[in-house]
Amino acid sequence: MLTICDCGGQKPTPHPRVPLGLVSEHQVRKELGKINRAIPPREGTFKKVLVPGAGTEAAAAPTVRGGTGAEVGRGAPSRAAGPAGQHEGTGRGAASPAGKVPRDLTMSLYCRIAFRGKSFCCYRLLSTYVTKTRYLFELKEDDDACKKAQQTGTFYLFHSLAPLLQTSEHRYLVPRFSLSELERLLSKFGQNAQRIEDSVLIGCSEQHEAWFALDLGLNSSSSTHASLPKSEMETELKGSFIELRKALFQLNPVDSSLLFTAQSLLHWHDGHQFCSRSGQPTKKNMAGSKRVCPSNKIIYYPQMAPVVITLVSDGTRCLLARQSSFPKGLYSALAGFCDMGESVEEAVRREVAEEVGLELERLQYSASQHWPFPNSSLMIACHATVKPGQTEIQVNLRELEAAAWFSYAEVAAALKRKGTYIQQQNQSFPFSVPPKLAIAHQLIKEWVEKHACSSLPD
């Protein structure tokens, strides 16, 4: 939205968003007129500049060529950025259609400088994402602001890393509790409000309602409170504390993402309650974004382990494998942790060579995903192609139970239903792929879609 930033003390006021891109002079003048009428000047005058290519004047900032708007109103060339901070102007000296204003110059016209003594008023586009991100940053850095946010925030409850869930037909719902509801619950079980300080910040809404997670089944080094009884709490809360891995695929994507973050943070704090250097208890900040050792001031931050997951293809088939711990019939892409000092490309090539004895010719990055099991990992997904003529698999039985090449038809059939039986090398065996929420499923789906498109006649 278009936000008014007034250094003179005026409260920010939202205004309608102005379309970006190449717009006519009439549109620019119309929007500037709205701003002028909405906020009349108190003292001083407005800067005036020539509208590029028009020979007419309009109230605006000094001529600019895209950027951040940090120096607006000081006589120096300023820069105006788009909502995502990207500069998509026409460039220096680039020609624009007659009667049109290039995007970067259009953005400059959305900044108006009103000199009011030493203060000034400027307008810039701020995306909802940016304001939300800045708000979360403030909560992580300022304990007082975070504690204040708890007053209007909501809490997700866990017990020994298992989230509280409620059943609704074939799905799970995730209940949330206000601060007052949580305080009443703790009081009923003989706990005081200090227990809430063990919560961690996991996100916020676009309206800046902060979301927190609290585990009532873990003992904190900074808290004297013991674990609360699980069964009694389930009865009181009309729900069940269910292991996240078991409930994962019956949650909606928004809830699962938040619970991923919550469980990972709670798990990390549970395992980092003492300083590895001094052995003294560490103390978490209010948001749970770090822990500090009071004796030597060492700061510990939550971390994720990088894991590469790769779908290998020979051009017509893809290679899938399974471990003994997988559910019966489940096959997935190859995956493994990055070793110290490795790049993503090196880790992919090494893992494929280690696990199935193949050498890669090409690899391409696809996407990434946070995965909380067994510990917090960053899954880095790639597609890879083996060298021509080198498709003989040599399974490393220390790593895998089995691996095989699968045709497009076999994989496409497995994507359409939960499980099927396939015939390979004179034997029939169950075959299924990971569910939709897993990034391995997306890799397999991308390969099937690409293969289907390449098979279509021109």
Condensed to tens digits (0 to 9), the pLDDT of residues 83-131 reads: 333 433 334 334 444 444 444 434 443 433 333 333 333 334 467 899 9
How many domains is the chain built from?
Answer: 3
Q: What does the pLDDT read at residue 418?
A: 64
Q: Which helix (H) or strand (E) segment is 241 a member of?
A: strand 240-241
Beta strand spans in 314-419 (E): 317-322, 334-337, 360-371, 377-386, 402-407
- pLDDT over threshold 90, residue 65: no
Same domain, residue pair 352 and 294? no
Higher pLDDT, residue 260 or 452: 260
Q: What does the pLDDT read at residue 266?
A: 97
The percentage of residues in the chain with a pLDDT greater than 70, rounded to a whole number, is 67
Same domain, residue pair 17 and 59? yes
Same domain, residue pair 251 and 342? no
Q: What does the pLDDT read at residue 18?
A: 38
Higher pLDDT, residue 120 or 190: 190
Same domain, residue pair 114 and 257? no
Same domain, residue pair 144 and 93? no
Q: What does the pLDDT read at residue 225?
A: 59
CA-wise closest residue to 178 among 207, 206, 214: 214
Spatial distance between the Cα atoms of 360 and 391, rounded to a whole number of angstroms:
10
Q: What does the pLDDT read at residue 31?
A: 58
Same domain, residue pair 90 and 143? no
Q: What is the 3-state secondary structure (H, E, C) of 376-401?
A: CEEEEEEEEEECCCCCCCCCCCCCCC
Spatial distance between the Cα atoms of 251 and 165, rounded to a whole number of angstroms:
10
Higher pLDDT, residue 413 or 80: 413
- pLDDT over threshold 90, residue 170: no
- What is the arithmetic mean of pLDDT over 168-191? 92
Q: Which helix (H) or strand (E) segment is 292 a member of?
A: strand 291-292
Return the structure tokens found at 317. 């088939």
- The four Cα atoms 143, 144, 145, 151 give a dihedral, to 10 degrees, of 110
- What's the CATH code of the domain at 387? 3.90.79.10
Same domain, residue pair 311 and 439? yes
Sequence-ordered list of residues with C-beta below 8 angstroms from that of 10, at least 6 positions apart, any chain: 4, 39, 121
Mean pLDDT of the chain, nearest integer: 78
Same domain, residue pair 223 and 286? yes
Of the candidates 65, 98, 126, which is a domain's last residue? 126
Of the candidates 79, 96, 126, which is a domain's last residue? 126
Crossing angle of helices 143-152 and 128-141, rounded to 10° = 120
Of the candidates 126, 155, 179, which is a domain's last residue? 126
Are 420 and 414 in contact by the 8 Å Cβ rule? The answer is yes
Confidence of residue 29 (pLDDT cuts 50, 70, 90): low
- pLDDT over threshold 50, residue 146: yes
Confidence of residue 431 (pLDDT cuts 50, 70, 90): confident
Same domain, residue pair 200 and 108? no
- pLDDT over threshold 60, residue 309: yes
- pLDDT over threshold 50, residue 74: no
Same domain, residue pair 99 and 179? no
Per-residue model confidence as pLDDT tens digits over 314-329: 999 999 999 999 988 9
- pLDDT over threshold 50, residue 297: yes
Residues pairing with 274 in the sheet = 281
Spatial distance between the Cα atoms of 62 and 71, rounded to a whole number of angstroms:
10
Residue-range definition of the domain harbouring residue 338:
305-455
The gap from C-alpha 290 to its chain's centroid, in whole angstroms, comes to 18
Q: Picking from 28-32, 111-115, 275-279, which range would have the lowest pLDDT averaged per residue?
A: 111-115
Spatial distance between the Cα atoms of 106 and 125, rounded to a whole number of angstroms:
12
Higher pLDDT, residue 231 or 35: 231
pTM of the model: 0.70
Q: What does the pLDDT read at residue 291?
A: 98
Same domain, residue pair 156 and 261? yes
Same domain, residue pair 286 and 266? yes
